[in-house]
Chain A
Amino acid sequence: MKNEALFRFLLRLGDDSLILGQRLAEWCGHGPILEEDIAMTNISLDLIGQAMSILDYAGVVEDKGRDCDKLGLLRFESEYVNLLLVEQPNGDFGDTMMRQFLFDAFRKPLYERLVNSSDKQLAAIADKSLKETRYHLKHSSEWIIRLGDGTEESHTRIQNSLDTLWRYSSELFYSDEVDNELTKTGILPDLSGIRSEWEATVNSVFQQATIVIPTNNWKFEGGRLGRHSEHFGHLLSELQYMQRAYPNMQW
């Protein structure tokens, strides 16, 4: 393999998109209103499209003949390295929007930096994906504010969503030798400003939504190293079903 750190970084990036895309696709036909059903599946499509570009490129870097389908659909649970946040179940519409918002607010500043990667293909993928992510963030932010600053019922429920999902947010900023190696070799630009930018977005939106960040410091991490929550195996069984039942099928 030409660059193992780059391969691992791309898997993390691609798995986040793939798994969140899969979760959003579960809403297809079940959205609370038609427009939101369409919005969530649109965002799902963007994310799965991004995952295809990223995982195809990961396959090129790995150089073992795996493409986005092989990487996306034929790995075992512990080989996926997505964030725990994105694999959490959809819950109610508020839970889904909160999960999306915490993620979008992170993805936008991340892509804004990856656009300047010295790796041309990574920069190209980031540039393409950034344009889509801006729309996703706008959509999820507006819903957080509307639900939080809405009725007593919607306020209580979106606050509950935040209380439940907040514990998965610190993993967004997980960093290890993969990032260090890529920063040292100049492939990754300086990513250190992402957290403060994310905090500024999150604080501003929560303030308008009149909801508050929970004060406990529970944190759950492990996804980046392939340690997943109990929900993940169920998600994979659905995601991988066709390729497992009919190996190498194409359509």
Chain B
Amino acid sequence: MVDKAQIYSWLEEVSDPEIPVLSVIDLGVVRNAQIIDGDWLITITPTYSGCPAMKTMEEDILSKLKEKGVDSVKVELVLAPAWSTDWLSENGRMKLREYGIAPPEHEVDKSVLFAEPTVVPCPKCGSRNTRMVSQFGSTACKALYQCNECQEPYDYFKCLK
């Protein structure tokens, strides 16, 4: 008997196409899996409104579950509640750091206007002496930083709340 836990464990094998080290479960985009009228309904939510990876994730989820023998599956995209970086799993944060992307810091200051950039430790050498190069990085969810100690340029998975 396939249950929700089983579905979730299979979805651990579906990765974010742009950050392949993260699964859709780590990323927190899978919000629910339930049986409605005999079909599995997987609910997902976008990280950013225009995230071009959502369509791919939807297709990957469908094909992964088909591969596991679950044929009647639907994927539904919902906007509420809005995704936040708090939904990234601890496991996901660890994987990001190992991959060379700094995970989101728990930013306290919500006054985005004129707030100083967050201190983001370098994922390579661990130094806190780093600087923000740009608020916008290689994908919608990332900012660009550089380490002042080891000079490593790196992506920061920016905080979204």
Contacts and interface: CB of A to CB of B under 8 A. Distances in A.
A49 B49 CA distance: 5
Interface in A19-54: 35-36, 38-39, 42-43, 45-50, 52-53
A141 to B, nearest CB: 6
B135 A131 contact: no
A231 interface: no
Interface string B82-111: 111000000000000000000000000000
A121 B78 CA distance: 9
Contact of A35 (B78, B114, B134, B140): B134
Contacts of A35: 133-134, 136, 144
B112 A135 contact: yes
Given A35-B133, A46-B50, A131-B161, 14 more contacts: A35-B136, A38-B137, A38-B138, A43-B136, A45-B52, A45-B140, A46-B49, A46-B140, A49-B50, A121-B79, A124-B80, A128-B79, A139-B136, A141-B113
B113 A53 contact: no
Q: Contact size class for A?
A: 20 to 34
A141 B112 CA distance: 11
A244 interface: no
A139 B114 contact: no
A208 to B, nearest CB: 9
A138 B134 CA distance: 12
A188 interface: no
A49 B113 contact: no
Interface of B: 46, 48-52, 78-84, 112-115, 133-138, 140, 144, 158, 160-161
B112 A134 contact: yes
Nearest to A141: B113
Nearest to B110: A134
Nearest to B144: A35
Contact of B135 (A39, A47, A127, A201): A39
A137 interface: yes
Nearest to B79: A124
Interface of A: 35-36, 38-39, 42-43, 45-50, 52-53, 120-121, 123-125, 127-129, 131-132, 134-135, 137-139, 141, 201
Contacts of A123: 80
Contact of A137 (B52, B80, B112, B134): B112
A38 B136 contact: yes
A76 to B, nearest CB: 25
Contact of B113 (A50, A52, A138): A138
Contacts of B140: 42, 45-46
B135 A138 contact: yes
B34 to A, nearest CB: 19
A79 to B, nearest CB: 23
Given A131-B161, A135-B112, A49 B79 contact: no
A137 B46 CA distance: 21
B82 A131 contact: yes
Contacts of B82: 124, 127-128, 131
Contacts of B79: 53, 121, 124-125, 127-128
Contacts of B115: 138
Closest 8 CB pairs between A and B? A49-B50, A49-B49, A124-B80, A35-B134, A39-B136, A45-B50, A42-B136, A124-B79
12 contacts: A45-B50, A46-B50, A49-B48, A50-B49, A123-B80, A124-B79, A128-B79, A131-B82, A135-B136, A138-B112, A138-B114, A141-B114
